[in-house]
Amino acid sequence: MTRAEAENYIYESYLKAEKEWDYSMPDSKKRHPEFSKPILESLNQNSRIPTVLVTGSKGKGSVACMIAQILSGSGNVGLMTSPHILKFNERFRVNGNCITDEEFCELTEKTKELFVPVRASLKSGECISPIGLQCALALQFFSNHHTDYRVFECGKGVKYDDVNQIFHEYAVINSIFLEHTRELGNTFFEIAKDKASIMTGDQKCVYVARQSEEVLEVLLQRAEETNAKMKCYGMDFWEENVRFCENGMLFDAFIGDRIYKDVFLPLLGRHQAQNGVLAMTVCLDILQKDFHIDGVMDKLKNVKWPGRMEILDNNPLTILDACINKESASLVLDVLKEMKISKVTAIVGIPDDKDFLGVVTTISPFSSKVILTKSSNKHYIFTKKQTQILEENGYPNICFKELPDALACAKKEKLPIIILGTTSLIADVEKRYHQL
């Protein structure tokens, strides 16, 4: 099995079933985490390795990365995230090192064998979730490398996400807002209820980031039902004194009665400082007496998370962010304000089925020009209707089919450039800037 064949296998069952689905079907009608549950339980049998699951609407990958980075100072840490930016292997890491092609192919073969009975029992329109297969692969990968800690990023939801079948004593819920409404629900209540399913009754503690009152009420109700102990942003942990510096930012972390001054992150945005203190809080409880702040701060200095308010160039200043909705765009604006940048040229590459209008609406007042482009991934749909919809709403724009043309146009403006888009566009940009 080649790497391409391994990747194809992971999506094969899903792509076959997808042809039978109505586009508007919610996750509850098309996802079946019960198919992978016995296999994941078998692979994780008798395991009490400290395991963290991370969900939320934004920043869950960043938090998962930070938790894994801190814990790596005390042992081997397995990390599973999605999506990837450049290569599928990025989804599976131990101490920051991606799975090799050889081991990825070998473990995909073993995973395929495990799921043979499941595949034989599938009915029309049913599939083995790609995430379920990835969880099985990750557990085997982590076992091969004798991990002392494990961190998993959930997908868009939790209730019907195979990741939630993995036994986890620690659960993290980053900020929740309206996203993936077609699959998860059209209200804050529905989306929060789905993600609250990360509380299964097995948790030592659940860590909750900044939330709206409506969302927090749902989470508190679920905590009561599952008898879960919760630690919440603003009460049990928070950040203060966030300030930008060369190549990142500094902040003070408040966790319980402890204060950690001048924590550095090589990332931008107050939201990343909030992610940082959230990750520190989780790790403090896991490590306890082995939580040494000097070591923790050294680990955080080396956090790398491409495409998240990443500075690509300084001439002109060019910032890249995986942003596909207005909520994320507002975080981008917060960073620009902190950096005292009042006008930019914006390149936007967001598929038709995502919130391109919300992003442009948010950033347009700060943009001298909005340039639309598309990613090279054929599975994402970019059409001329974006230009039409934006113009109908009063947002003039220029459209280029090719990223190099969009970049060339942006550079002519002699202003800072902000590139916002889906992960496939992020991959295209990374390849171009880093010649990968």
Residues 282 and 412 placed together within one structural domain of the fold = no
In a domain, 31, yes or no: yes
379 and 336 in a single domain? The answer is yes
Considering the domain architecture, whether residues 277 and 386 belong to the same structural domain is answered as: no
Domain-ending residue, one of 300, 318, 350: 300
Give the closest residue to 80 by CA, choosing from 15, 18, 143: 143
How far apart are alpha carbons 81 and 176 in whole angstroms? 18
Q: How far apart are CA 105 and CA 6, in angstroms?
A: 6
* Domain shared by 362 and 248, yes or no: no
Q: What is the pTM of this model?
A: 0.91
Q: How many domains does the chain have?
A: 2
361 lies in the same domain as 261: no
Residue 345 in contact with residue 369, Cβ under 8 Å?
A: yes
Find the CATH number of the domain harbouring 375.
Answer: 3.90.190.20
Are 144 and 83 found together in one domain? yes
Q: 228 and 370: one domain?
A: no
At 310, is the secondary structure helix, strand, or coil?
strand
**Same domain, yes or no: 147 and 253:** yes
At 180 the pLDDT is 67
Does residue 305 belong to any structural domain of this protein? no
- pLDDT, one tens digit per residue, over 338-376 is 888 999 999 999 998 888 999 999 999 999 999 999 998
* 101-154 confidence digits (pLDDT tens): 999 999 999 999 999 999 999 999 999 999 999 999 999 999 999 999 999 999
Least confident of 215-219, 220-224, 316-320: 316-320
Q: Are residues 77 and 47 in the same domain?
A: yes
Q: State yes or no: pLDDT of 193 exceeds 50.
A: yes
| Residue 250 lies inside a defined structural domain of this protein | yes
- In the predicted structure, residue 436 carries a pLDDT above the cut 60: no
Residues 220 and 86 in one domain: yes
Identify the domain boundary among 251, 273, 300.
300
Residue 28 CA to residue 416 CA, distance in Å, equals 43
Is 114 within a domain? Answer: yes
| Domain C-terminal end among 281, 300, 319 | 300
Q: What CATH number should be reported for the domain holding residue 206?
A: 3.40.1190.10
Say yes or no: 281 and 327 in one domain.
no
Closest CA to 87 of 432, 430, 349, 433: 430
Distance CA 160, CA 321 (A): 28
Query: Do the beta carbons of residue 179 and residue 59 sit within 8 Å?
Result: no
Q: What is the dihedral of CA 418, 421, 425, 431, to 10 degrees?
A: 30
Find the domain containing 376 and state its range: 310-434
Residue 210 lies in a domain: yes
* Residue 317 and residue 248 in one domain: no
